[in-house]
Amino acid sequence: MNDDRAVFEAAVAARREGKPAALATVIETQGSVPRQAGSKMLVWPDGEIVGTVGGGQMEAYVIREAQAALQDGQTRVLTYNLSDLGAGDPGVCGGTVRVFVEPLLAPITVVVIGGGHVGRAVAELAKWMEYRVVVVDDRPGYATPEAIPGMDAYYTVGAAELLDRVPITARTAVAALTRGLPVDEALLPELLKTDAPYIGVIGSRRRWALTVEALIERGISREQLSRIRAPIGLEIGAETPKEIALSVMAEIVMVLRHGTGEPMQWLGPTVQVPD
């Protein structure tokens, strides 16, 4: 029971902190085996574990498959005979074990950089949409529970520390709602080092043109810059912070869900009305 509790607590912590892990559960056994059905083990991406499904070579195989599951996002059912080492079995207990491996992928996280009026509106809307939300600002007092209540994490850090403090993965959308060119020039090269599928930057077309010019001078290619959506959001005529937040989150959903952003209006087939 203590092992199970440790596994469950680690799984909950992984979800809360936005970390991926894989859960391995013994689902069926026959004969003599090291652990019975229901035994659980949590596997981190680096192969570290919480709990056990039996130890030895069999457990090493399960860890390897769990790491593979984290890469491809697919569940798998593994069957191991524990009879004959000479035949390649990972043990000699004499029984058979089946293990279900389930990847617990990190939740999609929206990282809001900039805790001003628009940043707060984007963070609140993203949280209402049930994303995990992280708020970042280099100014004291902006990225705090008092300034923007109810978010999942807060960091008062600058661009140089961002990647050391905030995990940004292929399941992270970054909304850079920053206050000017100097911040963007320091921030964007760091963000482009990540696998974030969405990086959006607020500002006018002129501001973005100046940012592009400055980044190219620093050696950032146009191909790299094409990953960035700037000015941020979909064109819906937004003016207020909440309207801009709607524009930003609509674009984030479009990118993450592979939408087109096209109107869904449909007039339907021509209907023949009888005389």
Statement to judge: residues 115 and 246 lie in one domain: yes
Tokens matching residue 255: 């990118």
Statement to judge: residues 149 and 251 lie in one domain: yes
Using the predicted structure, report yes or no on whether residue 260 has a pLDDT greater than 70: yes
Task: Give the residue numbers spanning the domain of 213.
Answer: 109-256
The predicted structure's pLDDT at residue 85: 59
With b meaning 16 or more CB within 10 Å and e meaning fewer, what string describes 61-82? ebbebbbebbeeeeebebebbb
Counting residues of the chain whose pLDDT is more than 70, the rounded percentage is: 93
CATH number at residue 129: 3.40.50.720
Whether residue 166 is contained in a domain is answered as yes
Whether residue 274 is contained in a domain is answered as no
Global pTM value = 0.77
Counting residues of the chain whose pLDDT is more than 90, the rounded percentage is: 66
Statement to judge: residues 89 and 174 lie in one domain: no
Statement to judge: residues 115 and 250 lie in one domain: yes
The predicted structure's pLDDT at residue 81: 83
The predicted structure's pLDDT at residue 57: 83
Whether residue 261 is contained in a domain is answered as no
Using the predicted structure, report yes or no on whether residue 89 has a pLDDT greater than 50: no
Mean pLDDT of the chain: 89
Radius of gyration of the chain (CA): 24
pLDDT (average), residues 90-104? 80
Statement to judge: residues 78 and 37 lie in one domain: yes
For 168-204, write each residue's pLDDT tens digit: 988 999 999 988 788 888 889 999 999 999 999 998 9
Whether residue 264 is contained in a domain is answered as no
For 132-168, write each residue's pLDDT tens digit: 999 999 999 999 999 999 999 999 998 778 888 888 9
Query: Taken in order 234, 195, 144, 156, is the CA torsion positive or negative?
Result: negative
250 phi, psi to nearest 5 deg: -65, -40
For 7-48, write each residue's pLDDT tens digit: 999 999 988 888 899 999 999 988 877 788 999 999 999 999
pLDDT (average), residues 71-92? 72
C-alpha to C-alpha distance for 1 and 250, rounded to whole angstroms:
44
Whether residue 51 is contained in a domain is answered as yes
Amino acid letter at 88?
G
Using the predicted structure, report yes or no on whether residue 87 has a pLDDT greater than 50: no
Give the per-residue SS3 of the chain: CHHHHHHHHHHHHHHHHCCCEEEEEEEEEECCCCCCCCCEEEECCCCCEEECCCCHHHHHHHHHHHHHHHHHCCCEEEEEECCCHHHCCCCCCCCEEEEEEEEECCCCEEEEECCCHHHHHHHHHHHHCCCEEEEECCCCCCCCCCCCCCCCEEECCCHHHHHHHCCCCCCEEEEECCCCHHHHHHHHHHHCCCCCCEEEECCCHHHHHHHHHHHHHCCCCHHHHCCEECCCCCCCCCCCHHHHHHHHHHHHHHHHCCCCCCCCCCCCCCCCCCC
Using the predicted structure, report yes or no on whether residue 93 has a pLDDT greater than 70: no
Least confident of 93-97, 102-106, 234-238, 240-244: 93-97
Statement to judge: residues 116 and 98 lie in one domain: no
Contacts of 10 (CB under 8 A, 6+ apart): 21, 42, 50
Using the predicted structure, report yes or no on whether residue 264 has a pLDDT greater than 70: yes
Statement to judge: residues 139 and 247 lie in one domain: yes
Asked if residue 62 lies in contact with residue 41, where contact means CB atoms within 8 angstroms, the answer is yes
For 198-227, write each residue's pLDDT tens digit: 999 998 999 999 999 999 999 999 999 999
The predicted structure's pLDDT at residue 176: 94
Using the predicted structure, report yes or no on whether residue 231 has a pLDDT greater than 90: yes
Statement to judge: residues 45 and 7 lie in one domain: yes
C-alpha to C-alpha distance for 194 and 209, rounded to whole angstroms:
22
Statement to judge: residues 165 and 99 lie in one domain: no
Statement to judge: residues 160 and 209 lie in one domain: yes
The predicted structure's pLDDT at residue 179: 81
Number of structural domains found in the chain: 2
**pLDDT range class, residue 88, cuts 50, 70, 90:** very low
More confident residue, 189 or 268: 189
